[in-house]
Structure 1
Amino acid sequence: MEAISKRFFLYLSYNKALDRMAKRWGSKFGANKIIGGQTFSQAIPLITQLNQEGFQVTVDHLGEFVDSVDDAREHVRECIESLMAIAHHQLDTEMSVKLTSLGLDISRDLVLEHMELILSKAKQYGITVTLDMEDSSRCPAILDIYKTLRQKYDNVGTVIQSYLYRSDEDVEALQQFSPYLRLVKGAYKESGKVAFPEKQKVDENLKHLIKKQLLNGHYTAVASHDEAIIDYTIGLVKEHNIPNDRFEFQMLYGMRNQLQADLVKKGYTVRIYLPYGEDWYGYFMRRLAERPANIAFALKGIFSK
C-alpha cells in the first residue's frame, strides 16, 4: 500500500493542470503548514522565530522546470532580493535553489550566468547557497555545474540522493572540491534502472554516504526525519570523535517538530528547510509521497479552520 501511495502522489506532482489550480487556490489544504508563505517577506517572521528557538534555516523559492528565459530571470531577481533581505534582517539562514528554476532546461550558459549573479551576491553577505538535486536525468548537469562554480566560489554546496546507484561514485568524484553536501534519500519518481527500488537498500546507501563524507573530513548535512538514520549519525560521530561543527541535521519545516527540538536541546545543529512561494504544489505532493503519515497531516489541514 505504501508503494502504491508513493507512486500516486509522485504522479500527481507532475500534473500541470492540478499545479495551475493549486496556484489559484493558494496555500490551503494544509500546504500553509509546510511552507513559509507565498513571499519572502511573509517568511521573515517565521525565520526569526525559528532562529530564536535555536534553529538555523535554509530558504527555497519554490519553482522548477522553467522553460522561459523571462521566468528564469524572475527567479534570479527573487533570489537576489531575498539574499539582501536576509542580510538586512540579520537572519541565520542559507539559501537553496533548483537549477531548473534558473534555466537549466534552457541553456547551461544561462544557468551559469544566473548562478554567478546569485553566488556573488551571497558571497558579499557571507551566505551559503546549495544547489538542490532534482530527478536523475538532470543529476549529471547539476553536478557538472556545481564543479564549475566550486572552482570560483567556496559558498556553494549541493545534494546527493542515496536512492541513485551512481551516488557513491558521485561523492568520490566530488572529494577534490572539499564539498559541503546535503545527503538525502531522494523524492523523485525513478526507474529501477537508476535507483534502488527497496527502502532497505536506500537506507543502507545513505548510511554509507554519511560515513564516507564525514570520515573524509568534509562538512555534512544529514537531511532525514528517519530516527534510525539520525541515531546512526550520532553514533558514528561519537565513535570517531567528529566535532559537532562538522555536521548538521536538516529537516523540513512542519515535519517532526518535536524531534527537531529534541536534537537542538542535545546541542546538535538543526537546519530547517523552509520553502516559500506560489509554486508549492509539486513540493507538497513529493512530501506526501515520502511518508504515509504526511497524508493524514494534510487531510487535517484541509478540514481545520
Structure 2
Amino acid sequence: MSASYSKKNWMQFLKPFVKRFIGGESLKEALATLQNLKKEGFKTTLDYLGESVTNRDQALEATQEYIRNLRELNPLGLDKNISIKLTQIGLDIDEGFAKQNLIEIVKTAKTMNGFVRVDMEGSAYTEASLRLVSQAHQEIPCIGAVLQTMLRRTAQDVLLLIKKGVRIRLVKGAYKEPISIAFQDKRDVDAQYVTIMKRLLTSGIYHAIATHDEKIINEAETFVGKMGLKKDSFEFQMLLGIRADLARQLVKEGWNVRIYVPYGKAWFPYFMRRLRERRENVWFVIKNLFRGS
C-alpha cells in the first residue's frame, strides 16, 4: 500500500516535467505532436507506453491499441511507424500468445506499407525478442529489431540479424544489467557502439543510429563521407524532448532524423529510465522546481 501510494505521489509530482518527454496521455494529443514534428522535417515513430503486462485481456487491449495507432496514422499522412514492447502484448504470459499478437500488428502494418519496431527490454527478454522478430520477419518483412551495445552478446546478434536482412535500431541500452553479460564502463559501451554502427552503415540495409551522443553522431557523419555512402541510406533516431537542438541541426544538414514519441498514462517507468540515462534530464526537473509559475 505504501509503495503504491509513494509511486502515485511521485507521478503527481513529476507530471508537469514529463510533458517534455511524452507526446501526451491520449492518442489525440500524440497525433498532434507528430504533426508538429512533421512540419519541422522530422520522421516519427509512435510508442504506446506500457510494459510487463500479465493479464491476457490487457495484452489484447494493447495489441488493438497498436493496430488503432496504425489506422489513425494512415489517413493523416503521418509516418505509419510504431514501436512496441513485447511484454505489453503478452510475452510474460506466453511466447506463443505474444507472437500471435505481434503477427496481427505486423500484418496490419503491411496493408498500409507501415513498419513495426520491436523495442528491446531487459536482458531477460533479449533471446525471445530476437526470436519473435526473426520469425515474424520471415513471414512479413516490415518489422525491425533493437540491439543494445551495452550487452556483450550484441556483437554476435548483429551478424545474425544482418544476414537475415532485419532492420536494426542501435542503442546503448537503458537497463541495469550484471557485469557477466553487460559492459559497465561507458567507454566499452561506446566502443562497441561505434564498431557495430560502422558495420550497419555498410550493410546495405536501412538501419537506425539511435543516439544523442554528439561525438558518435560526428563519427557517423565522417564515416559516411569517407565511405561515399548516401545520407538517406540510414537514419538517426532520437527521443522526444532530448537534444532537440541537435536533431534540428541534423535535419538542416540533410540527414534523416526520426523522433521516438511515446504516449499514454503508463509513463512512469519510461520517464525514470530517461532520468537514469542522462544527468541533464535530472537537472531539467530540478531547475524547474525553482522556477516561478
**TM-score bucket of the superposed structures, by smaller chain:** over 0.9
Q: 1:58 aligns with which of 45, 48, 52?
A: 45
2:224 is paired with a residue whose SS is helix
> Which of 126, 137, 150 matches 2:124?
137
> Residue 97 in 1 paired to residue 84 in 2?
yes
Instruction: Give the Å deviation of 1:298.
Output: 2.1
Change (3 A) 1:237 1:221: same
Query: Any unmatched runs of 5+ in structure 1?
Result: 1-14
Q: How far apart, CA to CA, are the structure 2 residues paired with 1:152 and 1:26?
A: 45
Letter in 1 for 2:141: D
Q: Distance in 2 between matches of 1:146 and 1:269?
A: 24
| Distance in 1, Cα, partners of 2:83 & 2:3 | 23
Name which of 274, 279, 282 aligns with 2:266: 279
Q: What secondary structure does 1:190 align onto? A: coil
Deviation at 1:300, TM superposition (A): 3.7
**Contact 2:70 2:80 (8 Å CA) reproduced:** no
Alignment of 1:1-305 (within 5 A): 17=4, 21=8, 25=12, 28-302=15-289, 305=293
Deviation, structure 1 residue 303: 5.4
Which letter does structure 2 place at the counterpart of 1:100? T
Higher RCO structure (Cα 8 Å, ≥6 apart): 1
Contact 2:60 2:89 in 1 (8 A): yes
| RMSD between superposed Cα atoms in Å | 1.8
TM-score under structure 1 length normalisation:
0.91
Q: CA deviation at 1:291?
A: 0.9
Rounded Cα–Cα distance in structure 1 between residues aligned with 2:9 and 2:236: 31
Identity value in percent: 38
Instruction: Give the equivalent residue in structure 2 for 1:11.
Output: none
How many pairs are equivalent?
291
Letter in 2 for 1:82: N
Measured against aligned partners, the alpha-carbon deviations of 1:226-262 in whole angstroms (never above 9, x if no partner) come to 0011011111111111112211110010111110100
Offset at residue 302 of structure 1 (A): 4.7
1:215–1:198 distance in 2 versus 1, CA, 3 Å: same
- The 1:24/1:209 distance shift into structure 2, 3 A limit, reads closer
3-state SS in 2 of match to 1:151: helix
Residue of structure 2 equivalent to 1:3: none
- 2:15 alignment partner AA: K
Contact 1:55 / 1:271 at 8 angstroms: preserved in 2?
yes
Q: Which runs of 5+ in 2 are unaligned?
A: none
